[in-house]
Structure 1
Amino acid sequence: MKICIYGAGAIGGYLGAALDEAGCEVSLIARGAHLETIRRDGLRLLKGEQETAHRLACTDRPQDLAPQDYVIVALKAHQIPDVAGSIAALLAPEGSVVTAANGLPWWYFFGAGGELEGTRLESVDPGGVQWETIGPERAIGCVVYPACEIAEPGVVRLIEGDRFTLGEPSGEPSSRVSALSDAMRKGGLKAPVRPRIREEIWIKLWGNLSFNPISALTLATLETICRDAGTRNVARSMMLEAQQIAERLGVRFPIDVDRRIAGAEAVGAHKTSMLQDLEHGRPMEIEALVGSVQELGLIAGIGTPSIDLVLALLRLRAKTLAVS
């Protein structure tokens, strides 16, 4: 089984190491010092006191790789349209793309059924580039739960978590998802296959669309946002708007909003990924996490005043800091 990790940063590196342990033929797409170190010394994965080393093909030229059975895309959502052609060119005739980015996936309405079947989301796929170039029929959904970091070039540290939930957009069982799940489990990961992958996407997005932008605007950690009455109420209002949209689209939420907020508070003094990107001067995942929900609100005919307000402030913050 040939698997390419397109975007071998922290999460991508962790996946690559696990799939290497499973005996897959793994290749990595990386860049900069991380790329050069992996080429020279291999990839090292730190899990507590345990360290493993992995000699993997690593390149910044995807065109040099053989056709792949799976391409797992672990880039930030806004980076993907620019490399959609390279991703498509990597795929074997029956190859699949595994979308492991945060936020709503570009294929969201493929296989969903109903009157919105085939609707495209401009916020996450401007101009339909990914839809047209890669093709939604090649997509496998993936919700990423682990937290990892690049400790230094070529070295990935697992902070917590080992679950990557998988699912077909249509919800139907398939041999391609089962085979990938089996490989991931052999590598020590949890990889459940869910018939309603959109519900898992929304549970993670529920927090990301609220806590991430609030943290970027206030520079506060999850714990602080949840314990402050004002910001907690803003997050709760955004989440309730999002829940109304998702339920209108047929999604069921297994927990209520206050339990979801309590779960975020329990994480403690954690900086969201958006706040980390802001502090490092990197572009933030604004549209995939927040703009996409606003767009779905328009599609569903549901107002999003709290989301609209926070999104406007966040976009201006990014613009003034030149990190949009």
Structure 2
Amino acid sequence: MKIAIIGAGAIGGYVGVKLALAGEDVTFIVRGANLDAIRKNGMKLIMHDGTEHVAGNVKATNDYAQAGQQDMVILAMKAHQVEAVAQDMPKLFGPDTTVVTMQNGIPYWYFHKHGGPHEGSQVQSVDPTGMLVEMIPPRRVIGCVVYPASELVAPGVVRHIEGDRFPVGELDGTASERVTRISECFGKAGFKAPVLDNIRSEIWLKLWGNLTFNPISALAHSTLVDICQYPLSRELAASMMREAQEVAHKLGVEFRVTLDKRIAGAEKVGKHKTSMLQDIEGGRAPEIDALVGSVVELGRLTQTPTPHIDTVYALVKLLARSMEEERGQVRLQPLA
């Protein structure tokens, strides 16, 4: 299968190497140091057990037209980065090209084939101008939830931390030929990619933790276990999760695990810094609207009060704005 992966970061690099080693025709759409490194040395993957794999047969380019039409396009970047590449993506599309979206949070296509009173609604916090719906038509999309953890440790080098699950699903819940083909392709590469009949429920399950622990960790400079074991922050997380659960229920979503079990799962991860905390410490723009702002928006849409989520959203947005204005980073430093 001819596959383009937009972004060769932690997840894109991991997925790309495994697909290439399984025999797929992989092209990375990348820029800068990553582009130079992949062209020179291929893409390297260091697995959690220390074994190293190099996909030397991959292509890398920053020219979408040069990459040409693909069978599958994997969008492997954070939600707030998608708009910057959206206008070029149609250059990768043939008549039957599918787009696998690997963003955390509520996706721009959420209400496409959703059914009910909100069918076709636009998620303003994720796609404020409508560009994503226009440039990346939802009819091409296969939803995907990313569970593995990995990190880009150097240009063209990804270290896998844990996990191999990438559940996929059609937006209307059908077991189509194309989603089955994608599931099998991922399975051949060593991933677990079951076809789900309700991809939105799985999106909410992942989001349930992200919308709470990410911003709390960024504001408090604390790890998952710290948040879960400190009574005040644990109760704040639980309050945010209860609000989100009510929003999801009004949209027809049921959670297959309890709130307490979800918090316990985060606690077991231990001294892990969330991606938002890592971005705050690194001076990078954090991913806020797809993870938190979208739930605030859906709360308004469903007439569901979300006071705890609203408060945390306001604070982390202000932090991000301050960082942008000062061109700075925020991190705890040990006293001399």
Q: TM-score range by the shorter chain?
A: over 0.9
Matches within 5 A, 1:1-324: 1-47=1-47, 48-55=49-56, 56-322=58-324
CA contact (8 A) 2:169 2:196 kept: yes
Provide structure 1 residue ranges, at least 5 long, that are not aligned to the other structure.
Answer: none
Deviations 1:207-249 (A, max 9, x none): 0000000000000000000000111111110000000000010
Separation of aligned partners in 1, 2:204 and 2:295 = 10
Deviations 1:125-153 (A, max 9, x none): 11111111221111110000000111221
Letter in 2 for 1:261: I
In the comparison of the two structures, how many residue pairs are matched?
324
Q: How far did residue 31 of structure 1 move?
A: 1.8
Separation of aligned partners in 2, 1:271 and 1:49 = 22
- Identity within the alignment, %: 53
CA contact (8 A) 1:140 1:168 kept: yes
Deviations 1:255-308 (A, max 9, x none): 111110000000000000000111111111110000000000011010110000
Q: What value does the CA root-mean-square deviation take over the aligned residues? A: 1.1
Separation of aligned partners in 1, 2:228 and 2:278 = 18
CA contact (8 A) 1:21 1:186 kept: no
Separation of aligned partners in 2, 1:123 and 1:206 = 17
CA contact (8 A) 2:211 2:292 kept: yes
Question: Bigger CA drift: 203-212 or 45-54?
Answer: 45-54
Task: Give the TM-score of the pair, scaled to structure 1.
Answer: 0.98
Q: How far did residue 22 of structure 1 move?
A: 2.1
Letter in 1 for 2:54: A
Separation of aligned partners in 2, 1:153 and 1:301 = 46
Q: How far did residue 108 of structure 1 move?
A: 0.3
CA contact (8 A) 1:22 1:184 kept: no
Separation of aligned partners in 1, 2:322 and 2:87 = 31
Separation of aligned partners in 2, 1:21 and 1:247 = 41
Q: How far did residue 29 of structure 1 move?
A: 1.2
Separation of aligned partners in 2, 1:122 and 1:46 = 38
User: Following TM superposition, where does structure 1 have runs of at least 4 consecutive aligned residues deviating by more than 3 angstroms?
Assistant: none
Q: How far did residue 155 of structure 1 move?
A: 1.0
Q: How far did residue 21 of structure 1 move?
A: 2.0
Separation of aligned partners in 2, 1:200 and 1:300 = 20
Letter in 2 for 1:31: R
